[in-house]
């Protein structure tokens, strides 16, 4: 199963912008991802507003480990493996709720909300009082940290602290939601399953080449609420782009992404990235962009960050949307990914604005989302076509803009400005390959530090 590092280097070519299709369906690669990425990286668990009261819990996922995130009596937050120390049964089977204790329904071992083993049936008689309860609590996640309300965990005790892991790019990603106000998660996490590899679902979030095609029906039928200001993006050359009927594929007038659509791509250490429009050229794509004018937002985002209106991904699987949602792409199997949507609003927002935001979130993304319902079809088919022996000899191409991306460094951020490109996707895959080598943290950081051009 172990892949030599030389083999891993052949899977992703940063120079040619080529990806080996095996990475989307090879079970051995998936297993290695579980060990080298999902057992090491800081992973988003939930937002603190989801568990406000002592005993409130939310069940999350790290790799294939089920995690109980629990508010403690002292208001701190703990994250524990949801598996009994005796025979491994889950000690909680609800997705969320409030608990005073967690009971294993197999043999009755009972744990406090802090994970401490309190009660063992027959402790005095069957175990002669000799079982050391202090040694058999629920396993705690190695590190748990809170960045402005967003709770993360890592299984690696030697991982750098969360803020350092996020770096300027990851922090900017989260600040793009956190700085909008006193944020809370709206009840109801949308969860659904797509038969695709998780990396295809992740790299798509940077992909501003697909919306006008994949989502043509949504743009064309004007079903999308109008967001922000729309400027003339310029007409994309669609000559010889024909439908199965032979008719030219016409794009809706005023489609959001045109030939002049300016983007800013931010490349970060450990594989974090941001891709998408710049505010100055493309508008905000936000329903209520006024928050960007506040002094605290300007200070937190900085001059580069304030110009970012695209999509951050916190490596590996946490997408921060412009519609103030967090989307997780949770790998279940090589060809099966669970999508979770968390929607955040400012607690102090007028009811009417809150309703508009919620309605927008409900209608755009998620399983019935006017945009997302068409995405799954692409991702599932793109994954399926990595299984054929002949098909998988072909590479996936991420070469758009390659060789022309000049990386500017400012305020701790590395950015490329220009037209629609595939830099952020390719950066994600390059970083993925470095993670897959199992490098020590300092070497991993070096290997995922952007150079001068791409």
Alpha helix stretches (DSSP H) within 283-411: 295-305, 351-364, 372-384
Rounded to whole angstroms, the Cα distance separating 418 from 400 reads 11
Token pair for residue 195? 């038969």
Does 110 help bind other proteins (rule: CB under 8 A)? no
Q: Strands, DSSP E only, in 32-127?
A: 43-47, 56-62, 65-71, 77-81, 96-98, 101-103, 110-112, 117-119
Which segment (146-154, 210-218, 269-277, 286-294) binds other proteins by CB under 8 A? 210-218
Please list the residues that pair with 79 across neighbouring strands.
Answer: 69
* Identified binder of other proteins from the candidate list 294, 359, 391, 449, rule CB under 8 A: 359
Does 356 help bind other proteins (rule: CB under 8 A)? no
Does 363 help bind other proteins (rule: CB under 8 A)? yes
Does 338 help bind other proteins (rule: CB under 8 A)? yes
Rounded to whole angstroms, the Cα distance separating 48 from 249 reads 46
* Identified binder of other proteins from the candidate list 156, 163, 355, 410, rule CB under 8 A: 355
Give one DSSP letter per residue of 108-159, joined into a string: --EEETTS-EEE-TTTTTTSTT-S-GGG-SPPBPSEEEEETTEEEEES-TTS
Which segment (70-78, 166-174, 374-382, 394-402) binds other proteins by CB under 8 A? 374-382
Which segment (61-69, 120-128, 149-157, 335-343) binds other proteins by CB under 8 A? 335-343
Rounded to whole angstroms, the Cα distance separating 407 from 120 reads 59
Does 380 help bind other proteins (rule: CB under 8 A)? yes
Token pair for residue 304? 């580069």
* Identified binder of other proteins from the candidate list 102, 341, 429, 435, rule CB under 8 A: 341
Binding map of other proteins across residues 163-192, x = CB under 8 A, - = no contact: -----------------------xxxxxxx
Q: Least distance (Å) from other proteins to the CB of residue 284?
A: 22
Does 89 help bind other proteins (rule: CB under 8 A)? no
Which segment (81-89, 302-310, 360-368, 440-448) binds other proteins by CB under 8 A? 360-368
Does 450 help bind other proteins (rule: CB under 8 A)? no
Q: Residue 117: which of 248, 107, 187 has the closest Cα? A: 107
Alpha helix stretches (DSSP H) within 343-409: 351-364, 372-384
Contact 317, 309 (CB under 8 A): no
Quick one: DSSP state of residue 186?
P
* Identified binder of other proteins from the candidate list 9, 35, 96, 114, rule CB under 8 A: 96
Q: Least distance (Å) from other proteins to the CB of residue 263?
A: 24
Residue ranges that bind other proteins, judged by CB under 8 A: 93-98, 186-196, 214, 216-218, 220-223, 243, 249, 338, 341, 343, 355, 358-359, 361-363, 366-368, 370, 372-374, 376-378, 380
């Amino acid at each position: 199963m172990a892949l030599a590092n030389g083999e891993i280097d052949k899977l992703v070519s940063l120079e040619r912008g080529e990806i080996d299709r095996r990475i989307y369906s090879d079970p051995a690669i998936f297993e290695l991802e579980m060990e080298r990425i999902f057992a090491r990286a800081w992973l988003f668990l939930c937002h603190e507003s989801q568990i406000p009261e002592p005993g409130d819990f939310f069940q999350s996922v790290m790799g294939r480990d089920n995690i109980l995130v629990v508010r403690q009596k002292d208001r701190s937050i703990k994250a524990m493996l949801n598996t009994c120390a005796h025979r491994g049964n889950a000690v909680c089977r609800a997705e969320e709720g409030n608990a005073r204790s967690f009971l294993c329904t197999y043999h009755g071992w009972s744990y406090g909300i802090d994970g401490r083993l309190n009660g063992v049936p027959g402790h005095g008689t069957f175990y002669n009082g000799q079982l050391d309860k202090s040694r058999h609590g629920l396993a705690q996640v190695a590190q748990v940290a809170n960045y402005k309300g967003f709770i993360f965990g890592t299984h690696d005790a030697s991982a750098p602290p969360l803020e350092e892991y996020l770096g300027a790019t990851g922090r900017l990603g989260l600040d793009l939601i956190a700085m909008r106000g006193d944020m809370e998660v709206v009840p109801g996490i949308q969860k659904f399953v797509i038969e695709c590899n998780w990396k295809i679902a992740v790299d798509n979030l940077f992909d501003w080449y697909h919306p006008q095609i994949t989502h043509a029906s949504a743009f064309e039928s004007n079903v999308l609420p109008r967001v922000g200001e729309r400027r003339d993006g310029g007409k994309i050359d669609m000559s010889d782009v024909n439908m199965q009927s032979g008719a030219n594929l016409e794009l809706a007038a005023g489609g959001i992404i045109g030939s002049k659509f300016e983007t800013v791509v931010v490349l970060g250490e450990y594989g974090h990235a941001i891709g998408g429009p710049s505010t100055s050229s493309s508008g905000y794509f936000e329903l209520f962009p006024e928050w960007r004018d506040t002094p605290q937002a300007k200070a937190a985002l900085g001059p580069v960050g304030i110009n970012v209106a695209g999509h951050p991904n916190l490596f590996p699987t946490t997408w921060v949307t412009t519609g103030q949602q967090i989307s997780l792409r949770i790998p279940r199997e090589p060809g099966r990914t669970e999508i979770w949507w968390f929607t955040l609003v400012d607690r102090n927002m007028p009811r009417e604005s809150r309703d508009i935001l919620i309605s927008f979130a409900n209608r755009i993304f998620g399983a019935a989302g006017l945009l997302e319902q068409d995405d799954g079809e692409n991702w599932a088919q793109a994954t399926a076509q990595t299984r054929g022996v002949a098909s998988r000899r072909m590479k996936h191409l991420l070469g758009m803009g390659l060789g022309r991306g000049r990386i500017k460094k400012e305020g701790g951020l590395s950015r490329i400005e220009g037209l629609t490109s595939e830099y952020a996707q390719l950066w994600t895959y390059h970083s993925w390959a470095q993670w897959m080598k199992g490098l020590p943290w300092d070497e991993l950081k070096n290997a995922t530090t952007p150079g001068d051009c791409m």
